[in-house]
Amino acid sequence: AKGKGQAQARVNISAALVEDIINLEETSEDMQAVVEALKEDFSRNLNIRTSPGAFDHIIVVTKDGKFPLNQLGQISQKSPQLIIVNMTNFPESTAAATKAIRESGMNLNPEVDGTMIRIPIPKITREHRESLAKLAKQSTNKSKDALRKVRSKSVTQIKKSKNKVSEDTIFLLEKQIQQMADSAAAEMDKLLAAKTKELLG
């Protein structure tokens, strides 16, 4: 049993000892960034309930630059099926805001009424929930591909130091990077499980 327990032990090499071979903190940050991007994708693009907050991040391209929608218009929910964006403060950006909402990937068809943008929210069907759950799985798989690229890049970098350090050190470093990748992948699986449960109920 002793040997088996050791096999499960986590490798934790001091980053300072190997900084001339690889920057482990950077590798860890790169992997974490992939996880964070997946979280962001889930919260932005895979929501069943469309709340006014879901529109905040939509970037509107105006002649004066790019602005989040909530800086240009007042977003309010009139009913579960209707969101209104009041563009009175920046009427000249109404068309740009409408275009941004239409192209946001949220499957919406805004209608302009003067300086008001009316956004009918489609009723949620079972098919819609299932298609969102499929998208969540696709996004997770893409993120795992990105994670594998970070891992491969780091392992390639370590192998370049073959002449400088012992095989044991290289082996341990590879193992630690694999553990970091496994841990990030496990986090993604948790995110996917939670999102799937939320979508399919």
Query: Is 169 a domain residue?
Result: yes
Total tally of structural domains belonging to the chain: 2
The Cβ of residue 101 has, within 10 Å, a number of other Cβ atoms equal to: 21
Give the mean pLDDT of 37-63.
Answer: 83
Q: Percent of the chain having pLDDT more than 90?
A: 56
Residues 131 and 194 in one domain: yes
Residues 92 and 137 in one domain: no
Min mean pLDDT across 29-33, 114-118, 167-171 is at: 167-171
pLDDT value of position 49: 65
The letter for the amino acid at 166 is S
Among 144, 148, 146, which Cα is nearest to 177's? 148
The last residue of one of the domains, among 64, 97, 120, is 120
Give the mean pLDDT of 165-176.
Answer: 88
Residues 6+ apart with CB under 8 A from 21: 157, 158, 161, 164, 165, 169, 173
CATH number of the domain that 101 lies in?
Answer: 3.30.1360.40
Query: Is 5 a domain residue?
Result: no
Per-residue confidence band for 167, with pLDDT thresholds at 50, 70 and 90: confident
Among 131, 92, 128, 127, which Cα is nearest to 112's? 92
Residues 112 and 153 in one domain: no
Residues 58 and 41 in one domain: no
Tokens representing 14 are: 């001091």
For 60, the domain range is 52-120
What's the whole-number average pLDDT of the chain?
87
Residues 194 and 143 in one domain: yes
pLDDT value of position 17: 63
| Per-residue pLDDT at 5 exceeds 70 | no
The last residue of one of the domains, among 96, 120, 144, is 120
The letter for the amino acid at 26 is E
Query: Is 2 a domain residue?
Result: no
Query: Is 21 a domain residue?
Result: yes
Residues 196 and 132 in one domain: yes
Query: Is 195 a domain residue?
Result: yes
11 in Cβ contact with 175 (< 8 Å): yes
Most confidently predicted of 106-120, 124-138, 163-177 = 106-120
| Per-residue pLDDT at 104 exceeds 80 | yes
Q: Percent of the chain having pLDDT more than 70?
A: 91
Chain segment 69-96, per-residue pLDDT in tens: 999 999 999 988 899 999 999 999 999 9
Residues 138 and 39 in one domain: yes
Query: Is 84 a domain residue?
Result: yes
